[in-house]
Amino acid sequence: MELLEQIGRQAKEAEPLLRTLSGEKKNQVLNQAAEDLVKHTDRILKANEKDMARGREKGMKAGLLDRLQLSPKRIEGMAEGLRQIAALPDPIGQVMEEHTPANGLRIRKVRVPLGVIGIIYEARPNVTADAFGLCFKTGNAVVLRGGSDALFSNQAIVEVLRETLTACGCPVTAISLLSDTSRETAAAFMKLNEYIDVLIPRGSAGLIATVVQNSTIPVIETGSGNCHIYVDEAADLSMAAEIVYNAKTQRIGVCNACESLVVHEKVKDAFLPLLADWLLDKQVELRGDERARAAVPMKEASAADWGTEYLDYILSVKVVDSLSEAIAHINRYNTGHSEAIITEDNSHAEQFLREVDAAAVYVNASTRFTDGFEFGFGAEIGISTQKLHARGPMGLEALTSYKYQIYGNGQIRR
Strand partners, 141: 116
To the nearest whole angstrom, how small is the minimum distance from the Cβ of residue 381 to a second copy?
A: 14
Candidate list 222, 392, 394, 396; residue touching a second copy; CB under 8 A: 392
Q: Which x/- pattern over 290-329 shows residues binding a second copy (rule: CB under 8 A)?
A: --------------------------------------x-
Candidate list 41, 246, 260, 334; residue touching a second copy; CB under 8 A: 246
To the nearest whole angstrom, how small is the minimum distance from the Cβ of residue 354 to a second copy?
A: 6
| Segment (H or E) for 38 | helix 23-39
# chain residues binding a second copy, by CB under 8 A = 71
To the nearest whole angstrom, how small is the minimum distance from the Cβ of residue 373 to a second copy?
A: 9
Instruction: Decide if residue 387 touches a second copy (CB under 8 A).
Output: yes
| Segment (H or E) for 47 | helix 41-57
To the nearest whole angstrom, how small is the minimum distance from the Cβ of residue 128 to a second copy?
A: 23
Instruction: Decide if residue 410 touches a second copy (CB under 8 A).
Output: yes
Instruction: Decide if residue 216 touches a second copy (CB under 8 A).
Output: yes
Instruction: Decide if residue 347 touches a second copy (CB under 8 A).
Output: no
Instruction: Decide if residue 282 touches a second copy (CB under 8 A).
Output: no
Contact 215, 199 (CB under 8 A): yes
Distance CA 37, CA 153 (A): 12
75-to-39, 51, 163, 372, 382 alpha-carbon distances in Å: 10, 16, 17, 21, 20
Distance CA 252, CA 262 (A): 19
Residues 60-99 that bind a second copy (CB under 8 A): 99
Candidate list 207, 239, 274, 311; residue touching a second copy; CB under 8 A: 239
Residues 117-176 that bind a second copy (CB under 8 A): none
The interface region with a second copy, picked from 33-41, 55-63, 177-185, 213-221 by CB under 8 A, is: 213-221
The interface region with a second copy, picked from 176-184, 263-271, 290-298, 380-388 by CB under 8 A, is: 380-388
Q: What are phi and psi of 200, to 5 degrees?
A: -120, 110
Candidate list 123, 124, 368, 396; residue touching a second copy; CB under 8 A: 368
Instruction: Decide if residue 232 touches a second copy (CB under 8 A).
Output: no
Candidate list 10, 28, 250, 308; residue touching a second copy; CB under 8 A: 250
352: closest CA among 335, 338, 372, 370? 338
Considering only CA atoms, give the Rg of the chain: 24
To the nearest whole angstrom, how small is the minimum distance from the Cβ of residue 407 to a second copy?
A: 5
Which ranges in 58-150 belong to alpha helices (H)?
Answer: 62-68, 72-87, 126-137
Residues 6+ apart with CB under 8 A from 218: 197, 198, 199, 389
160-to-54, 165, 177, 387, 401 alpha-carbon distances in Å: 22, 9, 12, 36, 29
